[in-house]
Chain A
Amino acid sequence: MENLIALLVAAPLLGAAVLLCGGRRLDRAGHWIGTLFAAASFVVGVVLFVDMLGRGADDRTLHQKLFSWIPVEGFQADVAFQLDQLSMTFVLLITGVGTLIHIYSIGYMEHDERRRRFFGYLNLFLAAMLILVIADNYLLLYVGWEGVGLASYLLIGFWQHKPSAATAAKKAFLVNRVGDMGLSIAIMLMFTTFGTFAFGPAFEATGDTSEGKLTAIGLMLLLAACGKSAQVPLQSWLGDAMEGPTPVSALIHAATMVTAGVYLIVRSGAIFNAAPDAQLVVVIVGAVTLLFGAIVGCAKDDIKKALAGSTMSQIGYMILAAGLGPIGYVFAIMHLVTHGFFKAGLFLGAGSVMHGMNDEVDMRKYGGLRKFMPVTFVTFGLGYLAIIGFPGLSGFFSKDMIIEAAFAKGGTEGWILGCVTLLGAAITAFYMTRVMLLTFFGEKRWQPDAEGHEPHPHESPKSMTIPMIVLAFGSVFAGGFFSIGDRFMHWLEPVTGHDHGHAPVSATTVTAATMVVLVIGVAIAWTMYGRKPVPVVAPRGSLLTRAARRDLLQDDFNHVVLVRGGEHLTRSLVYVDHTLVDGVVNGTAASMGGLSGRLRKLQNGYARSYAVSMFGGAAVLIAATLLMRAV
């Protein structure tokens, strides 16, 4: 069975190679080839999963060593894979949701002449993400990590003829590089501290390591996670990443890319458990991002950007849960999986709406679409109910667990975190209801575009609706399936460990409170957007709304602090270089020149004057010798 693990990666990698090297002769079959390889990877994943279920809980980790990558004395890096319950969960999510998105893209990208290349990139994305989650050491994980960055760059900038898309791709890549620096520093620190990159030996060595070093490693890992998972302060790329085709957004937000940070933190649980300070920072980052993303999501009129804010917020939930330590690891991953279902469904739904509306993204120009797109309406609606945590649906179980875990952290910290997560749940209910009402309810608000084409909203083709239906099933049932009998917890516990904590309030109270804030959020949204007609042109709005429309001034902040600051820094450095460094160098040169100009006069070309020097020198030498002898 071990030998199958490499196939997981090999299939999409081969697909990418075939599609990208195959050239135009594959144009007509490219999308099928890409989907086939993604599906093959999913089938291998399922086979491995069934096999894993057949073994005992302690016997489920598989290892496969492909080859020695960098065998140097004292520096051993292998290309080796490790498949345990945590990796397995990710593999199924990535390949499963990834395959559905491939199928969806067949329809969505039908009229794009570069569809073959698109599928090649999608396959590359899957392969990189799979390497990331099944690597058995940090160095190989880094390979996958960078591969994900590259693939996201290619896909976000897929429509590179649009300057905005090219810029967004560059922005995503650059912001990610900041996080990548964190990961590479963390890996270097690990090597000097533990002497190894491999997960197993490194985690065993945490017991003998000082807390300070572990905290440093933890913070660097967190920086890496912030970059990939779009957490504050490296969140700014996510909104712009919406410039990519919608299936890419679905892939980035649900199955790959942003989940990598959560995976990294949960995988490095042993390090974080031993570094409480780092954990505290993780929790704070999660809590801040949770509210940040939610507030941004409330103000956006672009349906994809509203969903992007929502992703940021939901990943904030996961990071927060992961920062809680063993109380939260399981729930972070559980929410990640259920979020994978409903967020992929929501994005595919949004793509379907755009597909029927001439690529219009402004929700204020939708309205009343439920009559025209029944399948999209129902699947999007189920995803909506799941994400706000409607009782019985996926999000209800996973989010409720995180809120309980936040309270169970104990002490003041627990209360603060619990209230933040509750507040987040209320805002989630608000902005998602807003998206729902603006898009599918109310009066139709679309108008002919500049060339006079009236949009004719229509349901999307089967290749697009079927993945949406499958994902809707996942959004509805996954949470319940995982939670009944604590299945998911027992499944992951051998890898992540679990601790119930000590909740100051009972689970029922938390659930009741969640329901109350949910109703409040929905009610406010309904009063604002359901009861009265929605203006097509956005009103000016309050100060907070205007700030949130500009992503809470994240770009302005980056511009003022980083861009301007950087410019000032370089200018002052140039000044120092010109005055101080150049001054010293030029001054030395000038004084040397002046001195030699004077010394040059001694060389006058007269043999007699040279002879004088010779005689003088000889006389001095003789005098010195005699003097020395006398002494």
Chain B
Amino acid sequence: MNPVNYLYLAALLFTIGASGVLIRRNAIVVFMCIELMLNACNLTLVAFSRMHGNLDGQIIAFFTMVVAAAEVVVGLAIIVSLFRSRHSASVDDASLMKL
């Protein structure tokens, strides 16, 4: 099996996610882009797992999903509280940690 196509797709997804993180200001969108990057990684893991014919990569992909789920819980909670206090979900507005 040739993983090249899967890898191209994963790279494309990762790039879209990274650009979203860097460019978009809406915290929810940024968050979604992070998920996109994580899933791009999952795709490569699964592709290599197929190529090598063992399940190690798929196991790690499950781990990633679990961690991502946990992260979504915490991250959304932060975003919600941020929105409540500032009435905005823009990441640029939350720039208090500077001199």
* B21 interface neighbour in A604, A605, A606, A608, Cβ under 8 Å: A608
Interface membership of B98, Cβ < 8 A: yes
Known pairs A608-B91, A608-B92; A603 contacts B21 (CB<8 A): no
Known pairs A606-B91, A608-B91; A615 contacts B98 (CB<8 A): no
- Tell whether, in the assembled complex, residue B22 and residue A611 are in contact, meaning their CB atoms are under 8 Å apart: yes
Interface string of B64-81 (1 = CB under 8 A from A): 000000000000000000
Interface membership of A628, Cβ < 8 A: no
Nearest opposing residue in chain A for B99, CB measure: A600
* Known A605-B96, A608-B21; 11 more pairs at CB < 8 Å: A600-B99, A603-B98, A605-B95, A605-B97, A605-B98, A606-B92, A606-B95, A607-B95, A608-B92, A611-B21, A615-B18
- Tell whether, in the assembled complex, residue A608 and residue B22 are in contact, meaning their CB atoms are under 8 Å apart: yes
- Tell whether, in the assembled complex, residue B22 and residue A603 are in contact, meaning their CB atoms are under 8 Å apart: no
Interface membership of B1, Cβ < 8 A: no
Interface membership of A538, Cβ < 8 A: no
7 A-B pairs closest in CB distance? A605-B98, A605-B95, A607-B91, A606-B95, A603-B98, A605-B97, A611-B21
Interface membership of A612, Cβ < 8 A: yes
How many chain B residues touch A (Cβ–Cβ < 8 Å)? 13
Nearest opposing residue in chain B for A604, CB measure: B98
**A606 CB contacts on chain B under 8 angstroms:** 91-92, 95
B69 nearest CB across to chain A (Å): 22
Interface string of A405-418 (1 = CB under 8 A from B): 00000000000000
B17 nearest CB across to chain A (Å): 11
Q: List 19 A-B contacts (CB under 8 A).
A: A600-B99, A603-B98, A603-B99, A604-B95, A605-B95, A605-B96, A605-B97, A606-B91, A606-B92, A607-B94, A607-B95, A608-B22, A608-B23, A608-B25, A608-B91, A608-B92, A612-B22, A615-B18, A615-B22
Task: Kindly identify, within residues 597 to 631 of chain A, every residue whose CB is under 8 Å from any CB belonging to chain B.
Answer: 600, 603-608, 611-612, 615
Nearest opposing residue in chain B for A615, CB measure: B18
Nearest opposing residue in chain A for B91, CB measure: A607
B76 nearest CB across to chain A (Å): 16
**A611 CB contacts on chain B under 8 angstroms:** 21-22
User: How many A-B contacts if CB must be within 8 Å?
Assistant: 26
Interface string of A341-376 (1 = CB under 8 A from B): 000000000000000000000000000000000000
A: interface residue count bin:
10 to 19
Q: CA separation between A612 and B25, bound complex, in Å?
A: 14
Q: CA separation between A608 and B27, bound complex, in Å?
A: 11
Task: Kindly identify, within residues 572 to 608 of chain A, every residue whose CB is under 8 Å from any CB belonging to chain B.
Answer: 600, 603-608
**B92 CB contacts on chain A under 8 angstroms:** 606, 608
Q: CA separation between A13 and B97, bound complex, in Å?
A: 75
Classify the interface of chain B: helix, strand, loop or mixed: loop
Nearest opposing residue in chain A for B96, CB measure: A605
B83 nearest CB across to chain A (Å): 15
Q: CA separation between A615 and B98, bound complex, in Å?
A: 20
B11 nearest CB across to chain A (Å): 13
Interface string of A44-75 (1 = CB under 8 A from B): 00000000000000000000000000000000
B96 nearest CB across to chain A (Å): 6
B41 nearest CB across to chain A (Å): 13
Q: CA separation between A2 and B22, bound complex, in Å?
A: 98
A361 nearest CB across to chain B (Å): 77
**A608 CB contacts on chain B under 8 angstroms:** 21-23, 25, 91-92
Nearest opposing residue in chain B for A610, CB measure: B97
**B95 CB contacts on chain A under 8 angstroms:** 604-607
Quick one: which of A600, A611, A612 has the most chain B CB within 10 A?
A611
B95 nearest CB across to chain A (Å): 3
Interface string of B9-33 (1 = CB under 8 A from A): 0000000001001110100000000
Q: CA separation between A603 and B95, bound complex, in Å?
A: 10
Q: CA separation between A19 and B84, bound complex, in Å?
A: 88
A68 nearest CB across to chain B (Å): 66
**A615 CB contacts on chain B under 8 angstroms:** 18, 22
Nearest opposing residue in chain A for B25, CB measure: A608
B89 nearest CB across to chain A (Å): 12
Q: CA separation between A615 and B23, bound complex, in Å?
A: 13
Nearest opposing residue in chain B for A603, CB measure: B98
Quick one: which of A600, A605, A612, A615 has the most chain B CB within 10 A?
A605
B53 nearest CB across to chain A (Å): 25
Q: CA separation between A257 and B95, bound complex, in Å?
A: 81
A430 nearest CB across to chain B (Å): 87
A617 nearest CB across to chain B (Å): 13
**B22 CB contacts on chain A under 8 angstroms:** 608, 611-612, 615
**A600 CB contacts on chain B under 8 angstroms:** 99
**B91 CB contacts on chain A under 8 angstroms:** 606-608
Q: CA separation between A145 and B75, bound complex, in Å?
A: 83
Nearest opposing residue in chain B for A612, CB measure: B22
Q: CA separation between A73 and B65, bound complex, in Å?
A: 73
Q: CA separation between A615 and B92, bound complex, in Å?
A: 18
**B25 CB contacts on chain A under 8 angstroms:** 608
B27 nearest CB across to chain A (Å): 9
Q: CA separation between A612 and B94, bound complex, in Å?
A: 17
Interface string of A206-224 (1 = CB under 8 A from B): 0000000000000000000
Q: CA separation between A611 and B24, bound complex, in Å?
A: 12
Task: Kindly identify, within residues 22 to 58 of chain B, every residue whose CB is under 8 Å from any CB belonging to chain A.
Answer: 22-23, 25
Q: CA separation between A306 and B91, bound complex, in Å?
A: 97
Nearest opposing residue in chain A for B95, CB measure: A605
Nearest opposing residue in chain A for B18, CB measure: A615
Q: CA separation between A103 and B95, bound complex, in Å?
A: 93
**B99 CB contacts on chain A under 8 angstroms:** 600, 603
Q: CA separation between A604 and B99, bound complex, in Å?
A: 8
Q: CA separation between A608 and B25, bound complex, in Å?
A: 8
Q: CA separation between A604 and B91, bound complex, in Å?
A: 13
**B18 CB contacts on chain A under 8 angstroms:** 615
B38 nearest CB across to chain A (Å): 15
Q: CA separation between A200 and B18, bound complex, in Å?
A: 90
Q: CA separation between A615 and B95, bound complex, in Å?
A: 19
Q: CA separation between A607 and B75, bound complex, in Å?
A: 14
**B97 CB contacts on chain A under 8 angstroms:** 605
Nearest opposing residue in chain A for B24, CB measure: A608
A244 nearest CB across to chain B (Å): 70
Q: CA separation between A608 and B94, bound complex, in Å?
A: 11
Nearest opposing residue in chain A for B27, CB measure: A607
**B98 CB contacts on chain A under 8 angstroms:** 603-605
B23 nearest CB across to chain A (Å): 8
Task: Kindly identify, within residues 418 to 432 of chain A, every residue whose CB is under 8 Å from any CB belonging to chain B.
Answer: none
Q: CA separation between A615 and B94, bound complex, in Å?
A: 20
Nearest opposing residue in chain A for B94, CB measure: A607
Q: CA separation between A608 and B30, bound complex, in Å?
A: 9
